[in-house]
Every structure is written in structure tokens, then in C-alpha cells.
Amino acid sequence: MPSLIADFAKKWEKFYHVFAESGGYREVLLGLRNTLLIAVLGLLIGILIGTLIAAVKVLPRYKRVTRFFQKVCDVYVAFFRGTPMVVQLLLGYYVLFPLLGISLPVLEVCIIVFGLNSGAYVSEIMRGGIQSVDPGQMEAGRALGLSFSVTMGKVVIPQAVKNILPTLGNEFITLIKETSIVNFIGATDLCVAFRYIGTNNYEFMVPYLVMAVIYIVLVLLITWGIRTMERRMKRSDRV
């Protein structure tokens, strides 16, 4: 037992050396920045796309154009929910962007693919949120002469977002964790940073342990942030 502790202490020292003195922390900070960047911007793009899709999906269906767009949205959602994110990342980086003739830095590709993927999931969350809003709200808006889209944008969606905030938080957490796959196309994230430290002296135990702790802390912080936001919102509509 004491030898185990001594062994661990030695490993910790090795890790600390690479982390603090040989500049490993810079790699970790870069990885952390990329992880957060991909997750935050991905979620923002996802919310935009998701809201749009959800709005199209709840449109009254008697026009042929709407039915067409609803089909397009269905295909989109089916694709992004039906394939692994790694596959989407690879397809984006090696197929989609080259075919379009666009060459983007790998980080941007990650952000866009995460955004597109998240859009599919957020659209389902948002649709549930929209359907949870009392239909009377839409009726009241329409009866006053407001259009479907104005009532949607100013009355229904704000209430829907409030209802789905906790679920959106979960989506954010999922995105944070999913960023650990971006090394498939060569982007640096938290995972890559710690592997880099480990490879430096072939000592992986401590780096990967610290990495896990950082992920947990990140997720706990976000969970706490969502709780706080929820509480504040509830206060505003307490009777």
C-alpha cells in the first residue's frame, strides 16, 4: 500500500513537471478553449436551426410548400439522429466541405458539424416545448390579426424556451462530452491535450485522471448554472 502511494506520488510529480514546467498547461488551456468553443457555438447554431425546424414542423399543413419543407426537415433530423457524430464529422471534413470546394480550419468544421447535429436534437426538444405552450396563446395572437410567424416569435417560442431550458442544458452537457471525438479529424480538444502530456513521458495514469475531473467539474458548473437560471425564471411567474 505505501509503495502504491509513493508510486502515485512519483507519477503525479512527472505529470506536474510536464504540465507546469514544460508548458503542458498551454496545451490543456488550448484544448479547454476548443472544447468550450465547439460546444457553445455548436449549441447556438443548434438552437437557431432547431427553432427553425420546429417552427416549420408545427406549421398548419394545408399548403404544399409547407409539407415539402416539413419533409426536408424530417430527412435532416433522421440523418443527424441516425448516424454517429464521428461519422458526421468525417463526412463533413472529408466529403461535404471538399465537395463544396470550401477549405476551412478544422476547428470551424467541428463547430459547424456540431451545430448541424445539435440542430436536429434541439428541433425535437423545441417541438416538444412549443407543443407544451397553451394553444390559446397562438389563438389569441391570431385573433388580434398577428401573423403565425409573429405570434410564434414573440409569444409562443419565448414561452417554449422557458419550458425546455433544463433539456437544453442537457444538450449542452452532451455536446461538451461529445467534443472528445474531434481528434478523429485532427482538432485539439481537452482529450488530445492530455494525451499529448501523457505521450511526453509515457505516463498516462495521472493525466487521464485529471482530464476526467476537469470534465466532471465542467458539467457540474453547467448544471449549477442551469438550476440558477431556472430558479430565477420561476420567481418571475410565481403567483
Interface pick for other proteins out of 84, 158, 166, 225 (rule CB under 8 A): 158
Nearer to other proteins, 78 or 143 (CB): 143
For residues 26 and 142, which CB has a smaller minimum distance to other proteins in the complex? 142
**Binding status of residue 149 toward other proteins by CB under 8 A:** no
By CB under 8 A, tell whether 154 contacts other proteins.
yes
Taking Cα atoms as reference points, which of 110, 90, 94 lies closest to residue 40?
Answer: 110
Calculated CA dihedral for residues 143, 149, 150, 152, nearest 10 degrees: 80
Check: CB of residue 77 under 8 Å from CB of residue 124. Answer: yes
141 lies in the binding site for other proteins (CB under 8 A): yes
CA neighbours closer than 13 Å in the CB half-sphere of residue 21:
6
* Percent of the chain that is helix, strand, coil (3-state, to 5): 85, 0, 15
What DSSP character marks residue 179? G
Site for other proteins contains 65 (CB under 8 A): no
Q: What are phi and psi of 133, to 5 degrees?
A: -80, 135
- Judged by CB under 8 A, which of 9, 150, 212, 213 binds other proteins? 150
Q: Work out whether 134 is an interface residue with other proteins (CB under 8 A).
A: yes
The reply to whether 72 sits near other proteins by the rule CB under 8 A is no
Query: In the set 22, 147, 199, 228, which binds other proteins (CB under 8 A)?
Result: 147
Binding range to other proteins, per CB under 8 A, among 80-88, 96-104, 139-147, 224-232: 139-147
